[in-house]
Amino acid sequence: MNYLVTGGAGFIGSNLVNRLVTEGNHVTIIDDLSMGKKCNIRETDKVKFFEGSVMDKNLLSSIIKAETFDYIFHLAAVASVADSIERPLETHKVNYDSVLYLLNLCKKYQPGLKRFIFSSSSAVYGDIDLPFKSESTPVKPLSQYAVDKYAGERTVLNFYNLYGVPTSAVRFFNVYGPNQNPSSPYSGVVSILTDKFQKLRDGEKTYFTLFGDGKQTRDFIFVDDVLNALNSIAISSKSLGEVYNVGTGTVTSLNQIIKILSGIYSIELPIVQKSVRKGDIRQSVASKEKLTSLGFDATYTVNEGLNKLVRSFHERK
Ligand code: UD2
């Protein structure tokens, strides 16, 4: 099969690309390397790499016109809410305009496309105080990031309903795993924590800044499970024109994550406690019913996923 993965050098994108090529597929990647790295992608002649932004309309149109794709995963994005608050216009261009532009190209030039999958976020739910967030829960997008993700979803689903472009959207919860870049203060907390634990183990002095009491909960999902979820959605006909939470339905507190990692590394990471981040959500967990109705269920517990993640660092060395 022939795939297009935007953001294919990034965290989720590179894990997806590596799995696809291992399965014998061909993948075209568009990535501007703003967060992703070329070294995240396995070296193979099955990958065509275009270094560029999804804001570059000429690049998108030349690729869509030249190739015939079976599946398109649109994962490129300004991935941080905080970044979107600092750069609302650019976020909008990357996170929304590119979606509309790509879909319009697919409508014209990709008649054989099997599925276009758009990556949205649990951010669309905002701070709604509910134990489980289900796809039918009213949304409350509180940042430009969340507004654009929600608008992107609606556009993607409308393109199926109005023009028959085969689309689905996914709302990622807290994804963790190999190739997650820990370099920004707004990087995923698991990538920040494992980076600190690695440094400490290598003899560097470091500490973790804990915002709040650590009792905040999240739905942490290991990236391999995310890839399985994406596959279940991509091959199902029931998921056409639909949006899905991608989470495990299990709550884990930040304190639990720190405790598990301390156990894996057999070290105590010094912690400096600070006040809760502005806009931080206390509890976030996905209702997983809609996704499990496609036959998917997460296979990794947080304990297993974190163990596998730490092992992956050693395998690379
Ligand atoms: C996630 C998404 C974000 C958006 C949001 C929607 C990631 C990386 N971020 O943000 O893009 O979709 O969900 O709700 O998936 N923390 C610390 N110290 C640190 C870093 C984080 O204490 O150095 C805390 C942070 O304050 C939060 C928790 O860890 O309470 C998780 O933080 P996160 O940035 O990994 O993810 P989240 O859920 O805030």
Taking only the tens place, the pLDDT of each residue in 245-286 is 999 999 999 999 999 999 999 999 999 999 998 778 888 999
Atom of ligand 1 nearest to the CA of 216: 30
Q: Is the confidence at residue 317, as pLDDT, over 70?
A: no
User: Can you give the pLDDT at residue 129?
Assistant: 82
What is the DSSP-derived secondary structure letter of residue 279?
Answer: T
Instruction: Indicate whether residue 76 lines ligand 1 (CB < 6 A).
Output: no
104 DSSP β-pair partners: none
Percent of the chain with pLDDT over 90: 89
Closest residue by Cα to atom 25, ligand 1, is 211
211 lines ligand 1 (CB under 6 A): yes
**Cα 209 to averaged position of ligand 1 atoms, centre (Å):** 12
Q: Is the CB of 218 under 6 A from ligand 1?
A: yes
Ligand 1 centroid–CA 317 distance in Å is 28
Cα(218) to centroid of ligand 1, in Å?
9
- Which of 189, 208, 222, 254 is the best mutation target for the ligand 1 pocket, counting ligand atoms within 8 Å of the beta carbon and taking the most? 189
Q: pTM to 2 decimals?
A: 0.96
Q: Is 44 helix (H, G, I), strand (E, B) or coil?
A: coil
User: Mean per-residue pLDDT for 196-224?
Assistant: 97
Q: Rounded to an integer, what distance in angstroms lies between the CA atom of residue 85 and that of residue 53?
A: 20
Amino acid symbol at 81: V
- CATH code for the domain defined by 176-218+250-285+299-316: 3.90.25.10
pLDDT at 219: 97
Rg (CA), the chain: 19
Positions marked active-site: 145
Atom 14 (ligand 1): residue with closest C-alpha? Answer: 123
Question: CB–CB of 307/153 below 8 Å?
Answer: no
Name which of 32-41, 124-133, 236-245, 254-263 the model is least confident about. Answer: 124-133
Q: What is the pLDDT of residue 315?
A: 81
> Is the model's pLDDT at 127 over the cut of 90?
no
Q: Are 118 and 74 in contact (CB under 8 A)?
A: yes
Confidence of residue 163 (pLDDT cuts 50, 70, 90): very high
CB distance 189 to ligand 1 below 6 Å: yes
Tens-place pLDDT, residues 40-60: 999 999 999 999 999 999 999
Start-to-end CA distance of the chain, whole Å, equals: 32
Rounded (to 5) percent helix, strand, coil in the chain: 40, 20, 40
CA of residue 256 to ligand 1 center, whole Å: 15
Q: Under a CB-based contact definition with an 8 Å cutoff, are residues 124 and 284 in contact?
A: no
Q: Tell me if 91 sits within 8 A of 84, measured CB to CB.
A: yes
Tell me, which fold does domain 2-175+223-246 have in CATH?
Rossmann fold (3.40.50)
pLDDT attached to residue 316: 63
262, 200 contact by CB (below 8 A): no
Pocket test for ligand 1, best of 174, 194, 226 (most atoms within 8 A of CB): 174
Whole-number pLDDT of residue 183: 87
Residue with tokens 């406690």, as numbered in its chain: 273
Q: Is the pLDDT of residue 113 over 60?
A: yes
DSSP 182-225: --STTS-HHHHHHHHHHHHHTT----EEEES-S--EE-EEEHHH
Domain boundaries, the chain: 2-175+223-246, 176-218+250-285+299-316
By the 8 A CB rule, do 189 and 258 touch? no
Give the CA count within 13 Å in the CB-facing half-sphere of 154.
Answer: 7
Tell me, in angstroms, the distance from the centre of ligand 1 to residue 281's CA.
9
Instruction: Extract the tokens encoding 50.
Output: 């275009």
Q: What is the mean pLDDT of residues 213-242?
A: 98
Rounded mean pLDDT of the chain? 95
Reported as a pLDDT band with limits 50, 70 and 90, residue 36 is very high
Place 62 in a pLDDT band, splitting at 50, 70 and 90.
very high
Q: 95 CB under 6 A from ligand 1?
A: no
